[in-house]
Chain A
Amino acid sequence: MQHFIRIAVCLLPLVLAACGGGSSDSNTTTSAPTATPTSAPSAATASAPLSLSAQVGHKLFFDATLSGSGKMSCATCHDPNFAYAAPNNLAVQLGGTDMLQPGTRAVPSLRYKEFTPAYADLLDNPDGVSVPGPGGGFTWDGRSPTLADQSSIPLLSANEMANASPADVVAKVKAAAYAPLFLQAFGSDAFNDTTKAFANIQAALQAYQMEDQSFHPFSSKFDLYVANKIGGNMTAAELRGLTVFTDANSGNCASCHYQGAGLNGSSALFTDFSYETISVPRNMDIPANQNAAYYDMGVCGPARTDHLPASPGAANSFCGLFKAPTLRNVSLRGAFFHNGVIHSLYQLVHFYNTRDTNPEIWYPTVGGTPKATPDASFPTYGLITTQYTGGTVQKFNDLPAAYVGNIDPQMPLDSRAPGATPPMTEAQMSDLICFLNTLTDGYQAPANPPAHGTCVD
């Protein structure tokens, strides 16, 4: 990097000086100082100002009075300091009028949602190669077509912001300090029609998320790397990790967490908006899962209702499908997958690697005899740290048996036999985590980068 001169605004005098110096070319029309800006230089780097609607959205987003408890805003669960995801490692958050009501799914990040298309059973895959399939939409099951529409779910759910009704929300906005801004944005009669007013509240929240740069900063080390910017040199470990990420024969993460050029000019979103059934372990930390008859099956319900099985257990290819989330800022998360059953990147990567080769460390065993001391070779990174003799592993225990056939066979979850060699080595997984760490926004290149280390060598 020391070979490169930073081209930046501060070098304008140098650029101009070079132009003014010109060459010996007598045709001075070609050596005119064209660098003289004719528009404000600040335009080059400043964020576009938020529209009025988005300014309203900004106020709404952080307004805790917009909840039944008076204590919960959008930002409570979608914390800007955690890439607009949960600021803790709870599988599900608490809400409701008493702030004690548990949710049923982990909080997704609100970053990089601006390119998400509405859900379709046969969405064209942004990679331009994969066959169309279920994709798009908001929430883990895609049941909301737009960010605006999605906002009504947390606003009105009894275990989230727990407003009694849209009118309840509108009334609170009408009483808020920013009500004049709302009227400025949507007209002096904007509170007269409750339905319209609520729709405008939703639109304002969407506008804020669409317009404010903090929802799509693209400021990770990976962004510097792909954009060929100073400071974007990946380490050897990170580059190896990128290879694991994309290699169809090892990590194959890119197959769903697509990082290439995508829809509408998007690039490197680390999701293809698609849905897969991978049947992560049932998370008994979610109170709803105490009910043995309850299964959260994503696209086929029960939260989503337009793809329900005709009868319980009836064939339905949508059962078990959850959306592939963006992996940007993944290392800021404290709870992974729709049910938050995994709590670290290390564990997550190992789950992908050994779900099939070592299911006994991810799913409960019934009928076995626990060993007092596990064998030395028994992995310690799983959800289950007790080794059993005999018994049956309840693999795919969060999916009714009728839908096990829906499970996606792609690498690295290719259903290889228990005891087989896993797809990735420990070294590959270490590199992969190093790479995933480059997806965290707000990267500042260190002044003195370490010469050695796990993610360097």
Chain B
Amino acid sequence: MANLQYVGFTTSLTAIAAACMLAGCGGGDSGTSTSAPNSQVKISGVVNSTAYTPGSTGNPTLAAGYFKGATVCVDSNNDGICESSENPVTTDANGKFTLTASALGPIIADISTSATNTANGSAVTAHEILRASLAQVTEQQTAGLVVVSPMSSEVQRMVEDNSTDYQTEKGNLASRVGVTSAQVLGDLTALTGTAQSLALAEANALNNRYVYATKKFDNKELYPDALAVPGGDPELASLAVSTATNTQKTDPRQPITFLQAQQAAFNVEGIPRYDSVFIVMLENKGTTTILGSQYAPKINGYLQANNQFTSYYATSNPSEPNYTALGGADDWGITDDSQWNCDATGANAVQDLPVPDNTQPGLANSPFTTTCTQAAGINHNIVGRANLFTALSSKGLRWRTYSESMNPGQDFRTDSIADTAVTAADHVYPPGTLGNNTTAIGNSTLTLPMPAGLYKTKHHPGMAYQNVRSAPEWKFSNRTLGGGQWDAALVSGSKYTVPTGYNVDQFSTDLQSGDVGQINFLMPDQCDDMHSITVTGTLSGGGTATASDCASGNNIITRGDNYVDYLVKKIQASPLWANRQKRVAIVLMFDEGTATTGHNACCGWVPGSSGAAASTNTNPLVKGSNGQFAQDTSIHNYNFGNHGHGESIFAVITNQAGAPKQVSDSDAYSHFSFVRTLQDMFQLADPTDDSTYMNRSKYTEKFIAQNILNLPEYQSSADTHFDAVRPMNHAYVIPKTYTQIQSSDTQTLTPQVGPDTTQKGVWAVK
């Protein structure tokens, strides 16, 4: 339907333009141009384009060019449409246009699918409207080159969003991009080197947004997005959902205007656009193990000073399914931590060529097992499924994973191994540094060789996905994270050939250069993430002992707490963080809690007891070629996945000075909600099309109600709100009499009754 509407719109525009041109020719013959009134002005310029070419083994390949065949006019009434009265013209093969108007005014460029993008020589694939403000036109037309581009649209959008002025926002955008004010609204093709790559990265991201804004406008979508409506989803009013939690009885929304669409594209489902988010992954601690713990004073400090989600649920047990769900909103029936090739047969067969086993050059010590068959026969290689990594890459955006304590020279697809050539001293905690200890903890005479399994593939959110491991940017985007106990000695590694110039802390380097991803997963090693492993070393006086702070217990909580503090401070000290025109957020979260009682899952999955797990057909829903959602029955063991594992703390720290602080959102969210939130944050999905949300992140209350026959696990739900996914936007207002549902990870806390003290968004930037 969207396409049909769009075709109709452009057809009429083309007809109007043709009529204008004919009229213009007729008029020209009469020679009136020589007697044109003095008030007529000419505005010349270009319409810039960008093009993304997939396949790069590094950062996305982006090119600058022009739109040929775009319709340009002075949009004197600011409605985003070139009416015939606005005398539109068409850009030439070099993207150039010259407008004649009675006065200077804001310009729009209407780029239909009949236009050509010279950056890649291809027809435009999606309708887009770009604009340049009157202030910009005024400034640039004197030099004869008004540049209409995603950048020019962005400056005007910022002016409207912030109630500021052109010069301010031009400067702000220049700061965001890292180029000069003169460059930021100039012809993108004229830039070179770093300035062009910086500008293209931003222009590409903006271009995605303005295409999306145009789609919203063309489709006359209701504004705002359903799940961003304050109070709750207004589409639920007539659906069979829990009446106790369905708070919105009418739909107050109206069709979106052009200017609303411009803003809405940067606030998908109420989640503002960020430039980069750093997700610090910690391991296996339920909420109350951390909240208020004397062993985690620094994390508690960040929680108190910043924003948090207080009812955040893991989706699975143990680690690997949780990380897999963080990567793509489903665990696909994976219920253990086994290697990614286990029981990957038939359509799931591993496509890594070759697998990183010990027959490969340089990998003689690889711990990778080439074949893996387990009794349960559960496939661990997820083929052809959507995930955040390929979603970002497909839009010319970037992802990174930063992992600590890998063996230099190892393959990312293998666990790290023990290396006695790499040693470190035991951590010693003086009195007062670990849970108010009165005597020192740790042994300075204990030398610890690097143990096996500091880095684990089970803790990589993209590892299970074949298309991520096979992505051309795989090696480029997996990087090292410093701050580890063995860092100083890693270059002495003896198990693999240490690469020349090996950087044990690429993360620090990237923070300085700004060459980070949009989504950056930070995986500390299994000591720094609070997981625990056995680390045994030798005492200088003879004998052996274990590390002071890597066994399970309280010491490792303090260790992780210190490491989190190190990471946060490092990010906060970076030029990236200091650039307030870039929106940067840090997430502190755990892969799972420890819930053993009652409600250990929410938001996209009801634990499959009540027979569902054992014997009913609970399968994920996928959209078929007929446009209908149907069960995908190809996944073995699916009934037993996604069972949840309790609640953990979830802190959000941003670099936005005007952002609300100390906001607590107690609505129930899960990894699936977080994936949906990240899709919204980076505009990787369209709320009007459920199928654009990956896997279980599409399981909103509305979607579930509409597909209930194919979702047996949701039937007879007592609280369909609790059981459904929503973006983490704090739009939903908890009813006054509603008592918070808790897992055992929060059961020492009094359950909240009624709404939060504020409905401000945790991610809000102002």
**Is B741 touching A228 in the complex (CB atoms < 8 A)?**
yes
Query: Which segment, of A88-96, A180-188, A192-200, A262-270, faces chain B?
Result: A262-270
Say yes or no: is A18 at the interface (Cβ < 8 Å to chain B): yes
Give Cα distance in the complex from A37 to B255, angstroms. Answer: 31
Name the distance in Å between A237's Cβ and chain B's nearest Cβ.
15
Say yes or no: is B219 at the interface (Cβ < 8 Å to chain A): yes
Name the distance in Å between A15's Cβ and chain B's nearest Cβ.
6
Say yes or no: is B517 at the interface (Cβ < 8 Å to chain A): no
Chain A residues near B716 (CB, 8 Å)?
Answer: 6-8, 229-231
Give Cα distance in the complex from A224 to B611, angstroms. Answer: 10
Chain B residues near A34 (CB, 8 Å)?
Answer: 627-629, 690, 703, 706-707
Give Cα distance in the complex from A15 to B630, angstroms. Answer: 16
**Is B244 touching A44 in the complex (CB atoms < 8 A)?**
no
- Residue of A3, A25, A48, A232 touching B221 (CB-CB under 8 A): A25
- Residue of B2, B240, B708 touching A29 (CB-CB under 8 A): B2
Give Cα distance in the complex from A27 to B719, angstroms. Answer: 29
**Is A228 touching B712 in the complex (CB atoms < 8 A)?**
no
Give Cα distance in the complex from A28 to B222, angstroms. Answer: 12
**Is B707 touching A26 in the complex (CB atoms < 8 A)?**
no
**Is B242 touching A227 in the complex (CB atoms < 8 A)?**
no
Give Cα distance in the complex from A317 to B61, angstroms. Answer: 64
Q: How does the 8 Å CB contact mask read for B637-649 relative to A, with 1 for contact and 0 for none? A: 1011101110000
- A226-B600 contact, Cβ under 8 Å, with A5-B241, A24-B251, A264-B335: yes
Name the distance in Å between A288's Cβ and chain B's nearest Cβ.
35
**Is B243 touching A35 in the complex (CB atoms < 8 A)?**
no
Query: Which segment, of B189-197, B409-417, B602-610, B654-662, faces chain A?
Result: B602-610
**Is A225 touching B643 in the complex (CB atoms < 8 A)?**
no
Chain B residues near A14 (CB, 8 Å)?
Answer: 240
Query: Which segment, of A154-162, A213-221, A422-430, faces chain B?
Result: A213-221
- A261-B645 contact, Cβ under 8 Å, with A39-B631, A44-B709, A229-B716: yes
Give Cα distance in the complex from A223 to B255, angstroms. Answer: 44
Q: How does the 8 Å CB contact mask read for B579-613 relative to A, with 1 for contact and 0 for none? A: 00000000000000011111110100011111111
**Is A225 touching B598 in the complex (CB atoms < 8 A)?**
yes
Give Cα distance in the complex from A230 to B606, angstroms. Answer: 12
Query: Which segment, of A63-71, A252-260, A357-365, faces chain B?
Result: A252-260
Give Cα distance in the complex from A246 to B613, angstroms. Answer: 24
Counting chain B CB atoms within 10 Å of each CB, the highest count among A12, A19, A26, A47 belongs to A26
Name the distance in Å between B631's Cβ and chain A's nearest Cβ.
6
Give Cα distance in the complex from A44 to B612, angstroms. Answer: 9
- Residue of A5, A9, A39, A228 touching B243 (CB-CB under 8 A): A5
**Is A27 touching B688 in the complex (CB atoms < 8 A)?**
yes
Chain A residues near B616 (CB, 8 Å)?
Answer: 44-47
Name the distance in Å between A235's Cβ and chain B's nearest Cβ.
14
Which residue of A has the minimal Cβ distance to B254? A24
Chain A residues near B2 (CB, 8 Å)?
Answer: 27, 29
**Is A15 touching B240 in the complex (CB atoms < 8 A)?**
yes
**Is A223 touching B610 in the complex (CB atoms < 8 A)?**
yes
Give Cα distance in the complex from A17 to B611, angstroms. Answer: 29
Chain A residues near B611 (CB, 8 Å)?
Answer: 213, 216-219, 223
Give Cα distance in the complex from A39 to B620, angstroms. Answer: 13
Chain A residues near B222 (CB, 8 Å)?
Answer: 23-25
**Is A263 touching B243 in the complex (CB atoms < 8 A)?**
no
Say yes or no: is A36 at the interface (Cβ < 8 Å to chain B): yes
- A38-B624 contact, Cβ under 8 Å, with A25-B222, A44-B709: yes
- A246-B744 contact, Cβ under 8 Å, with A226-B599, A265-B335: yes
Give Cα distance in the complex from A361 to B1, angstroms. Answer: 79
Name the distance in Å between A246's Cβ and chain B's nearest Cβ.
5
Say yes or no: is B235 at the interface (Cβ < 8 Å to chain A): yes
Which residue of A has the minimal Cβ distance to B221? A27
- A265-B714 contact, Cβ under 8 Å, with A15-B239, A43-B617, A254-B596: no
User: Which of A43-85 touch B at CB < 8 Å?
Assistant: 43-48
Give Cα distance in the complex from A228 to B724, angstroms. Answer: 12
Say yes or no: is B297 at the interface (Cβ < 8 Å to chain A): no
Name the distance in Å between B60's Cβ and chain A's nearest Cβ.
29
Q: Secondary structure at chain A's binding surface: helix, strand, loop or mixed?
A: loop
Give Cα distance in the complex from A48 to B712, angstroms. Answer: 14
Say yes or no: is A21 at the interface (Cβ < 8 Å to chain B): yes
Chain A residues near B164 (CB, 8 Å)?
Answer: none
Say yes or no: is A11 at the interface (Cβ < 8 Å to chain B): yes
**Is A264 touching B720 in the complex (CB atoms < 8 A)?**
no
- A19-B240 contact, Cβ under 8 Å, with A43-B617, A228-B722: no
**Is B284 touching A128 in the complex (CB atoms < 8 A)?**
yes
User: Which of B681-716 touch A at CB < 8 Å?
Assistant: 688-690, 703, 705-712, 714-716
User: Which of B223-240 touch A at CB < 8 Å?
Assistant: 235, 238-240
Chain A residues near B316 (CB, 8 Å)?
Answer: 261, 265
- Residue of B220, B244, B318 touching A4 (CB-CB under 8 A): B244
**Is A7 touching B709 in the complex (CB atoms < 8 A)?**
no
Say yes or no: is B552 at the interface (Cβ < 8 Å to chain A): yes
Which residue of A has the minimal Cβ distance to B627? A32
**Is B628 touching A38 in the complex (CB atoms < 8 A)?**
yes
**Is B710 touching A267 in the complex (CB atoms < 8 A)?**
no
Which residue of B has the minimal Cβ distance to A25? B222
Chain A residues near B712 (CB, 8 Å)?
Answer: 44-45
Counting chain A CB atoms within 10 Å of each CB, the highest count among B242, B600, B616, B709 belongs to B709
Give Cα distance in the complex from A48 to B609, angstroms. Answer: 16
Give Cα distance in the complex from A228 to B640, angstroms. Answer: 17
Chain B residues near A8 (CB, 8 Å)?
Answer: 715-716
Say yes or no: is B718 at the interface (Cβ < 8 Å to chain A): yes
Say yes or no: is B749 at the interface (Cβ < 8 Å to chain A): no
- Residue of A5, A21, A213, A268 touching B615 (CB-CB under 8 A): A213
Say yes or no: is A341 at the interface (Cβ < 8 Å to chain B): no
Chain A residues near B705 (CB, 8 Å)?
Answer: 7, 15, 18, 35
Say yes or no: is B356 at the interface (Cβ < 8 Å to chain A): no
Say yes or no: is A41 at the interface (Cβ < 8 Å to chain B): yes
Name the distance in Å between A59's Cβ and chain B's nearest Cβ.
20
**Is A219 touching B610 in the complex (CB atoms < 8 A)?**
yes
Chain A residues near B741 (CB, 8 Å)?
Answer: 228
Say yes or no: is A242 at the interface (Cβ < 8 Å to chain B): yes
Chain A residues near B615 (CB, 8 Å)?
Answer: 47-48, 213, 216
Say yes or no: is B110 at the interface (Cβ < 8 Å to chain A): no
Say yes or no: is A376 at the interface (Cβ < 8 Å to chain B): no
Say yes or no: is B723 at the interface (Cβ < 8 Å to chain A): yes
Chain A residues near B87 (CB, 8 Å)?
Answer: none
Which residue of B has the minimal Cβ distance to A239? B598
- A229-B241 contact, Cβ under 8 Å, with A24-B222, A35-B706: no
- Residue of A23, A261, A266 touching B235 (CB-CB under 8 A): A23
Chain B residues near A30 (CB, 8 Å)?
Answer: 688-690
**Is B597 touching A261 in the complex (CB atoms < 8 A)?**
no
Say yes or no: is A414 at the interface (Cβ < 8 Å to chain B): no
Say yes or no: is A1 at the interface (Cβ < 8 Å to chain B): yes
- A228-B717 contact, Cβ under 8 Å, with A3-B243, A28-B1, A128-B594: yes
Say yes or no: is A149 at the interface (Cβ < 8 Å to chain B): no
Q: How does the 8 Å CB contact mask read for B324-353 relative to A, with 1 for contact and 0 for none? A: 000000000101100000000000000000
Give Cα distance in the complex from A428 to B331, angstroms. Answer: 39
Which residue of A has the minimal Cβ distance to B631? A39
The 7 closest A-B pairs by CB, nearest first: A265-B640, A260-B596, A265-B335, A261-B317, A3-B244, A44-B712, A38-B630
Instruction: A28-B1, A30-B690, A229-B716 given; name 13 further pairs at CB < 8 Å.
Output: A5-B240, A8-B715, A24-B222, A26-B5, A35-B705, A35-B706, A44-B616, A44-B712, A46-B617, A223-B609, A227-B609, A264-B378, A264-B640
Chain B residues within CB distance 8 Å of chain A: 1-2, 5, 219-222, 235, 238-244, 251, 255, 284, 316-318, 333, 335-336, 376, 378, 552, 594-600, 602, 606-617, 624, 626-631, 637, 639-641, 643-645, 688-690, 703, 705-712, 714-720, 722-723, 741, 744, 747
- Residue pairs across A and B with Cβ atoms less than 8 A apart, 17 shown, are A3-B243, A5-B243, A19-B706, A25-B221, A25-B688, A29-B689, A34-B707, A35-B705, A38-B628, A38-B630, A39-B631, A44-B712, A45-B712, A213-B611, A260-B645, A263-B335, A266-B640
